[in-house]
Amino acid sequence: MRAFRKVGGTPIFFKEARGAHAVDEDGNRYLDFCMAWGPLILGHAHPRVIEAVEKAVRDGLAFGTAHRGEGELAERVLCAYSYAERIRFVVSGTEAVATAVRLARGSNGRHRILKFDGCYHGHVDSLMVKAGSGVITQGLADSAGVPAQVAADTLVIPLGDMDALEQAFRDQGDSLAAAIIEPVPANNGLLVQSREYLQRLRELTRQHGTVLIFDEVITGFRFGFHGYDKVVGIEPDLTTLGKIVGGGLPVAAVLGRRALLDQLAPLGPVYQAGTMAGNPVCLAAGIATLAELAEGRVYEHIEALGRHLDAALARHALKAKAQLPRIGPIVWPYFDVNAALPRAASAITANAVETYHRNYRSWLDRGVYLPPSAYEVCFLSAAHTTADVDTLLDVLNTGS
């Protein structure tokens, strides 16, 4: 997406950003609703985060040892995820998912993974797969360089299909090491799932001894000072985090109960390590971000923006051209008012995608930067205002 392959033309090169705005190398100023693909819930260059990072830099860029920041950020995260007792910091969401999958396999001695079509979990080889035409399929690699035998260890079923879910566990449940899902799928459209579907997944994984992984790289700390597990009242066995937990710097994590996490080295036999994991400068950004979020005002502001968006859309001309489904601060411009909102990636219409991509350049010309792909979501932040929301609606109404 950064290469603008979907929308065409020369990609933007940003050089600086503050609050809700960014400036490119040509001096053009944009109202940003991409927010670095989600980490910047406080906006660009938030003063509290910048101050914390500057102090950490003066103390040293990296230590290669344990340090105070690891314990402080761990306590903040585990306070928010009440079911979890241990956490391991890594660098990226992809690495967090890879660690969670390895941990699941090491815990029960199985090797097969269940994932859901339309959910994205980073570029882990075994998860770079998609569903075929059947209800339940063996994985087919989405990327060159992923061996067929690796992809074949992954079962893929249609997202939201209860019958397919039941069949998967009936046929393969006792061989599944883990089932991984975005509890709010937001990387292939905003495909909000029912609580009943997630609850049934939780029941089936427990019945079959399968580790349930909630991939909350996008949703962690997005809807309040907690995870989506609290929103729906469903606890997974492992959670992967990224984006917000690093406050704009590369921090990710896998967390869960002691019985699972203690199987990671050095306490257990499942190996994981990384030179830059737990980097003090990066963790300082995460600590400052979570400290700001814990005060609550950010969530109140963002929810007020969301309510304003909903109310404004109801009387705006855009409603004749597009739907804007929203959950918390996540908004998805869907340019097809003649189709029901998709709950699976396969239901996203070609018309919606083509219309978004065709009009993208006109939005840039109006000074609004959105994700350069119709499948990606937008993010409201603490730096946005109701006037910014109104601008978004006006700009989305331009074009054909």
Chain mean pLDDT for the chain: 93
| Domain 14-32+296-396 belongs in CATH node 3.40.47.10 | no
Average pLDDT over residues 157-162: 95
CA separation, residue 157 to residues 14, 134, 264 (Å): 39, 9, 29
Predicted confidence (pLDDT) per residue in 344-358, tens digit: 989 999 999 999 999
**Banded model confidence at residue 137, pLDDT cuts 50, 70, 90:** very low
Cis bond before residue 372 (omega within 30° of 0): no
pTM of the predicted model as reported, rounded to 2 decimal places: 0.95
Predicted confidence (pLDDT) per residue in 55-68, tens digit: 999 999 999 999 99
Could you list the active site residues?
120, 215, 243
Contact 126, 230 (CB under 8 A): no
pLDDT value at position 133?
Answer: 27
Long-range contacts of 77-80 (CB under 8 A, 24+ apart): 77/241, 77/245, 77/253, 77/255, 77/290, 78/255, 80/221, 80/225, 80/226, 80/227, 80/290
63 DSSP β-pair partners: none
- The answer on pLDDT for 400 being more than 80 is no
pLDDT value at position 130?
Answer: 58
Local structure of 103: helix, strand or coil: helix
**Banded model confidence at residue 303, pLDDT cuts 50, 70, 90:** very high
Multiple choice CATH, 48-294, 3.40.50.620, 3.40.30.10, 3.40.640.10, 2.130.10.10: 3.40.640.10
Distance (Å, whole) CA 51 – CA 399? 41
Among the residue ranges 33-37, 149-153, 273-277, 362-366, the one predicted with the least confidence is 149-153
What ranges do the domains of the chain cover? 14-32+296-396, 48-294
Average pLDDT over residues 9-24: 97
